[in-house]
Structure 1
Amino acid sequence: MQKMELLSHKTEPVGDESLEKWKLVGSGGFGRVYKVRHKDWGFDMAIKILHDGVCSHLPHSSPLMPKEKALYEEANHMEKASCEFVLRLYGIYQGPSKQHGIVMEFMERGSVQSLLNYLSAPPPWPLAFRLAHQVALGMNFLHKNNLMHHDLKPSNVLLNDDLNAKLADFGLSRVSNSALNSNREATGQIGGSYKYMPPEAFEASYQPVRSFDIYSYGILLWSIVTGKEPYQAADYNLVALRIPLGDRPSCEEVDQMKAEGLKELVDLMQRCWDNMPSKRPTIKECLEVTENVLSKHKKGIHDAVYQVLTRLVELESPTSNQHSDTSVAFNCLQTPEQSESNDIVDHVRFTQTERSSIQDSVNVSTKVMSDTAKAKFVDDMRAKLIQNVSEVMAIAEELGDMVHGETYSVIEAKETSQDKMRVLYQNTFRPGGLKVKAAFYDALKKHQPTLVERLGRISSW
């Protein structure tokens, strides 16, 4: 096995003696992410720790287990790609029980995914265009350093206190094939979320190059300007079948929107997701478009960010009914006062139909339910939930330790949402009982409020 290159002297090991105030903020198939406070430095950080940390302080010549090798590769990529628009690396965590982890910058405002989830709409135009440009800046820096992200999607674009974007999760990063000599073998396996993968990536023999990231960026742009997930009801098999045939997210709704520079951005996203990799623009060409579009809205950025942050602070206050944990995601548009709701809805460009849907969701979210009632809902709606829940992985991540690491891996391996939900019911809900079902209900209400509202009308509680 290839030996792992050590990180530079700038990234010192971080041990338990330096850390306090541990708080679990996320969990997945790879392991867990914690928010911690460094005693000497005086600020919060994020630490990603593998589920099975099995190596101790390894000498340079020692081979690493596969997961640990991936973790060290991720850290090396983060260090190489360190810039204003990429998540900052602080060092390697070396803890008890031979645990290793990555110590990173902590982003208070979650991700673009959480922003879109809680707004249930696109951000105000100036903020949307800034996000598009900042992602392009981060990707350009990666490509200039002969790296590709290989898993670009809204949940891997994190947001700081001022809603500035930084690229994260380099677990699937690979050295770009286009930067390798022709006699060198390409590295890595195909990864990333299938809804953001280019058509050529569904071929078994595909070796990723930079145009993979360009395609993903195009789909990401669509998500930002529409506030939606692409192909929401489609499973892997359907996406793998239709994308190579030329299917893409619909731009019909976007074409009805009015904003200076939007037409140029739509043209860019469509060029990015071209079926032919050679016809896609370079990230530098993308950068030129996004910089030009953003220049038309610079005067509105301050107001747009202020309005969104004001709403977030409002909903994170103790008087809000919505529980807040900004380390994972931030909450907004869940329990607004009616007089203020219309202002924010107008600002983020809802249609009248969407307004009514949001208000219905608000009414559901403010209904007080006991854990027993939530669990009964999950039991009574078993068949319908298996059939209709599409955000299974996002919900499983939110359940954290309630979903065993092995179960999470099984869920992740399933191709359809229905199969993923069946595993959740069998391996997590059944043994976990009332507490887990209630937590699932809360997560479902956050990720798919319309589904909860619709099923709530016919449930027996």
Structure 2
Amino acid sequence: MVAIASVVENTCGFNLENIVLFGKCRCSELRWLSFSHKKKMLSLNGSQLYTYSVCNVGEHEQDNWLRTTFIQRRLSASRVFVELQFIVRDCNSFDGSSLTCKETFNLFSSESDADIGTSFRKGQFKKVATIAPDEITSRNELRINTETRVVESLSRKGFYLAFQDIGACMALLSVRVYYKTCPATIKSLAAFPETVAGGGVNQALREVAGVCVENAVSEESPRIYCTMDGEWVVPVGQCQCMPGYEAVNDTCRDCQPGFFKAFVSNDACELCPVNTKLLSSGALFCPCAEDFYRAPDDPTTGPCSGLPSAPRELVATTTQLAAGKLQLSWSPPEDTGGRSDISYSVECRRCEGTACQPCGEKVRLEPASSGLVDTRVAVSELEPHLNYTFTVEAHSGVSLFASQGTPRSNRPPSTSTLTTALHYTDPPKVTSMRLDERSLTSLSLSWAVAPRRPVPQPTRYKLTYRKKDDNLDVTTYTVLILEKSSVQISDLSPGTAYLFRVQALSPEGSPGGSSIEDEFETLTEGKEDVPPPPPPCLSCICIVLAIMSIYSYSSPEQLKPLKTYVDPHTYEDPNMAILKFASEIHPSHVTKQKVIGAGEFGEVYRGILKAPGRKEGAVAIKTLKPGYSEKQRQDFLSEASIMGQFSHQNIIRLEGVVTKFKHAMIVTEYMENGALDKYLKDRDGEMPSFQLVGMMHGIAAGMKYLSDMSYVHRDLAARNILVNNNLECKVSDFGLSRVLEDDPEGTYTTSGGKIPIRWTAPEAIAYRKFTSASDVWSFGIVMWEVMAFGERPYWDMSNCEVMKAINEAFRLPAPMDCPSAVYQLMLQCWLQDRSKRPRFPDIVSLLDKLLRSPESLKAIADFDPRVSIRLPSTSGSDGLPFRSVSEWLESIKMSQYSENFTCAGVVTMDQVLQMKNVDIKNIGVRLPGHLKRIAYSILGLKDQTSTLIQSPIFVNI
């Protein structure tokens, strides 16, 4: 912003109405001191203007001065700007008599505390600048120049300006003097007054204190700085709207009806959550509506919940009814009341006639009779011939409020009940089996059962038979369900022995507690058989349920010959391997777009491949940096010779190479989400275990393919796994890869080279021997990286500390929220004896089973926060391992929340130890992974004794 310092211009000569501070003056009132300068009339654009001019170019030693009147310094302006408009004539337009002609003049200034009138001494003035024109006036064309200079470090009450001419032909048209201010403003909800620019002598900034706008507060006084150019910079101490108010433009406006805000912040007011009352404006929270509640641990800013409705579809499934066992299962309530903390309790009652009583300890319910999360429970120790009634109740965090009021009639009660009656009877026992009749191709059998108490349902039987001497790879069983205790089997082979097993079934379809097996043989052609006594006419209804086949260990796929990897280094001319395994691409078909990374040999670009016969698509382009040697070029292209031999959906695909031109390139498919470790770090805690296990399954499938080709990777790590848009994981980076020998236990031995210690098996570190089993070890580390969302294995331990820990049989602990089954697989991959580690086909099979049964991922491995978070070896004065909250947050990689803790007033570790989950949420930690990391760290600090952990704790196997 510009402010006028004083009227110092010849207002009779110039149009300066916009800058006059005290009004215009008349020509006769302008009392500038003039030495040789003449006041003249000048015609400019049809207007007559008065100017100060001088043109003594033919005289030697010119020293002409023009001084302004006294200019008062206002508002402590220490820096003013002087804008000059003037005309300077071209010295070449004069004849030879103008040898002393100049084309410049000088600007001077002098400070004073009072007006000295007409007193003038040159020694009082100091030079500000030499003024030179940009354009010179000729005989025929008038050119006006405008120049601005700065007079700085002013400190007295006023000052004079003076102009010195030393031989120019010039005319001074106008002088404008002004200073700059930072305008009054509101920034970050703090109001700041208009301020003169600059901070005084030799100070570029002026600090200005502000005041929070109405309904806003700040922990520290808001401040801002005014620059010498009249601009506001570096605001400090942000003001925030009070609870019940939100920032709207530069004000704090109260929350509108139906909205609320509970904390001091600049966030917008939130819409009242579901099932709450809509209060008037300025609400701090929204109370629950009638018949809706918040649990004691629910935040006051969250929604309110209703009571759950009844569980649905209660079913009793008999498993081993003869042993008194069954399983109850049900579906969740149709209406959970808006809550996820649904649990169940099961009540058992046994009834004889009309009298019923609790089952008590006579009947076992597993895993428990209350606090159940899963919608099933196993029941055992049932007695025969009794009716059992099971009642399942649904509960939630607000069920405790059910007794405090009567629920609305259109809502179900919070404690809901479904009842089913079960009459359990034990099936009869088969005691003997006999052959009634036989022929070349059929056998007629019957069997007897032990007497039992009568039951209303008829008994059914399960008959299973097969050939006795079936030595083929595939053994076929035939299963029949029969309504009577006899059967005729047809379509059998002559002269063949068969094994038969029969077992009685309960009315519910479960098998009895015992069965009997016997052997019978069909007639041989040409031999007569003495027929047994004719049995009574029996009929049966047979239902073939299944034909079960048991296969030998070797599947047809395993019997097929596998393609074997060929090491490109075995070629006498490495270029031949490239020609054989990689397609050549013309460089004109490849377009680089932007750098996405850097490899060992050069930069990696994202680009477009548009080749004839191919669909245009995005690719990754690895380049070879200039100045390479021939060996570096061969090592660079050898990776393409390796990749070109692979074809699997979980192995990075080679598109081709550029080798016949100066700049060699390797072109591969483009993976949009980049390296797996970085992808996971960016999504810490946001992905469920099922999705993470799916990623592991893809990596394992790719490694199985490589191991089937007798190939070892040597550098399997999350950083070398790439992820595409479909979250498919693909193995990449074959720079350290080598082929296995023909021997299945073959190794690759090297006398040197880099080894990634944190991912490498102990035998590979100690003896430089690599096998597919060492890749399995590395895969276990990759699994740990995945479940830990890209955390660095062994944290900040040195390589020596890692090797020492491994050799002492310690292993990485389970990451937070890691399924127990997944962690057990990790430990199997890290067995010291490599022969006992699982192979990649086994790993793929196990991960596939886990994905087919998501419930198997619900059991979580034990987690000790003191293990996953490495504590420092020194402690603070309070006996805790951290001297400050910021130091603690930095140690668990959560330093981005330091300001949140400070704003919430949590500034000591003692205050941290008092925090609960709801407190952590309330200070602004929203991501589930971050919330868990901070909560578990606090739990670990609470459990920690005065003895500090000097190094990480691992699992000892």
Tell me the CA shift for residue 54 of structure 1: 4.1
Q: Distance in 2 between matches of 1:8 and 1:71?
A: 14
Q: Distance in 1 between matches of 2:848 and 2:761?
A: 25
Cα 1:291–1:178 shift into 2, 3 Å: farther
- Which residue in 2 is equivalent to 1:230? 793
Tell me the CA shift for residue 152 of structure 1: 0.6
Cα 1:21–1:31 shift into 2, 3 Å: closer
Q: Distance in 2 between matches of 1:84 and 1:342?
A: 41
Cα 1:170–1:189 shift into 2, 3 Å: farther
1:206 matched to 2:771? The reply is no
Query: Whose radius of gyration is greater, 1 or 2?
Result: 2
Q: Residue 932 of structure 2: which of 351, 354, 364 is its match? A: 351
1:87 matched to 2:636? The reply is no
- Which residue in 2 is equivalent to 1:43? 617
1:25 matched to 2:596? The reply is yes
1:215-226 matches, cutoff 5 A: 215-226=777-788
Q: Distance in 2 between matches of 1:353 and 1:264?
A: 25
Is the contact between residue 748 and residue 771 of structure 2 (CA under 8 Å) also seen in structure 1?
Answer: no
Deviations 1:144-183 (A, max 9, x none): 111111111111111111111111101111102464797x
1:324-339 matches, cutoff 5 A: none
Cα 1:288–1:190 shift into 2, 3 Å: farther
Cα 1:24–1:149 shift into 2, 3 Å: same
- Which residue in 2 is equivalent to 1:195? 758
Indicate the SS of the match to 2:782.
helix
Tell me the CA shift for residue 265 of structure 1: 1.7
- Which residue in 1 is equivalent to 2:674? 110
Tell me the CA shift for residue 112 of structure 1: 1.4
- Which residue in 1 is equivalent to 2:638? 73
1:234-273 matches, cutoff 5 A: 234-251=797-814, 253-254=815-816, 257=817, 262-273=819-830
Greater relative contact order (Cα 8 A, min sep 6): structure 1 or 2? 1
Cα 1:54–1:28 shift into 2, 3 Å: closer
1:3 matched to 2:570? The reply is no
Tell me the CA shift for residue 277 of structure 1: 1.4
Deviations 1:48-107 (A, max 9, x none): 12334647xxxxxxxx51x333333311221222210000001112375x3322110110
Q: Distance in 1 between matches of 2:846 and 2:782?
A: 15
Deviations 1:218-246 (A, max 9, x none): 11111111222211101222223322222
Deviations 1:428-456 (A, max 9, x none): xxxxxxxxxxxxxxxxxxxxxxxxxxxxx
Q: Distance in 1 between matches of 2:578 and 2:774?
A: 27
Q: Distance in 2 between matches of 1:166 and 1:349?
A: 28
Tell me the CA shift for residue 42 of structure 1: 1.9
Q: Distance in 1 between matches of 2:711 and 2:748?
A: 15
Cα 1:154–1:344 shift into 2, 3 Å: farther
Is the contact between residue 123 and residue 224 of structure 1 (CA under 8 Å) also seen in structure 2?
Answer: no
Q: Distance in 2 between matches of 1:105 and 1:68?
A: 21
Unpaired runs of at least 5, structure 2: 1-568, 858-895, 898-920, 939-957
Is the contact between residue 122 and residue 128 of structure 1 (CA under 8 Å) also seen in structure 2?
Answer: no
Cα 1:178–1:230 shift into 2, 3 Å: farther
Q: Distance in 2 between matches of 1:199 and 1:274?
A: 10
Tell me the CA shift for residue 187 of structure 1: 6.5
Is the contact between residue 223 and residue 229 of structure 1 (CA under 8 Å) also seen in structure 2?
Answer: yes
Q: Distance in 1 between matches of 2:797 and 2:742?
A: 32
Is the contact between residue 265 and residue 289 of structure 1 (CA under 8 Å) also seen in structure 2?
Answer: no
1:296-375 matches, cutoff 5 A: 296-297=853-854, 345-346=927-928, 350-351=931-932, 353=934
Is the contact between residue 783 and residue 826 of structure 2 (CA under 8 Å) also seen in structure 1?
Answer: yes
Unpaired runs of at least 5, structure 1: 56-63, 301-333, 358-461
What is the one-letter code of the residue matched to 1:222? W
Q: Distance in 2 between matches of 1:133 and 1:150?
A: 19
Q: Distance in 2 between matches of 1:245 and 1:273?
A: 13
1:276 matched to 2:848? The reply is no
1:291 matched to 2:848? The reply is yes
Q: Distance in 2 between matches of 1:350 and 1:118?
A: 15
Deviations 1:326-382 (A, max 9, x none): xxxxxxxx99xxx9x999834x5851626999xxxxxxxxxxxxxxxxxxxxxxxxx
Q: Distance in 1 between matches of 2:583 and 2:597?
A: 24
- Which residue in 1 is equivalent to 2:724? 160
- Which residue in 2 is equivalent to 1:395? none
What is the one-letter code of the residue matched to 2:697? H
What is the one-letter code of the residue matched to 1:68? R
Structure number with the higher helix fraction is 1
What is the one-letter code of the residue matched to 1:351? K
Indicate the SS of the match to 1:231.
coil
- TM-score w.r.t. the length of structure 1 is 0.58
Indicate the SS of the match to 2:770.
coil
Cα 1:161–1:185 shift into 2, 3 Å: closer
How many residues are aligned here? 301
- TM-score w.r.t. the length of structure 2 is 0.29
Cα 1:48–1:188 shift into 2, 3 Å: farther
Is the contact between residue 147 and residue 176 of structure 1 (CA under 8 Å) also seen in structure 2?
Answer: yes
Tell me the CA shift for residue 8 of structure 1: 5.6
Cα 1:206–1:11 shift into 2, 3 Å: closer
Indicate the SS of the match to 2:619.
strand
- Which residue in 2 is equivalent to 1:174? 738
Structure number with the higher strand fraction is 2
Is the contact between residue 107 and residue 160 of structure 1 (CA under 8 Å) also seen in structure 2?
Answer: yes
Q: Distance in 1 between matches of 2:849 and 2:745?
A: 35
Tell me the CA shift for residue 210 of structure 1: 1.1
Q: Distance in 2 between matches of 1:342 and 1:294?
A: 34
Indicate the SS of the match to 2:640.
helix
Q: Distance in 2 between matches of 1:101 and 1:187?
A: 28
Tell me the CA shift for residue 113 of structure 1: 0.5
205-214 or 45-54: bigger deviation: 45-54
Tell me the CA shift for residue 297 of structure 1: 3.8
Tell me the CA shift for residue 17 of structure 1: 1.3
Deviations 1:384-424 (A, max 9, x none): xxxxxxxxxxxxxxxxxxxxxxxxxxxxxxxxxxxxxxxxx
Deviations 1:2-40 (A, max 9, x none): 432424667432233112243111114332211111234
Cα 1:247–1:94 shift into 2, 3 Å: same
| Pairwise CA RMSD | 3.4
What is the one-letter code of the residue matched to 1:353? I
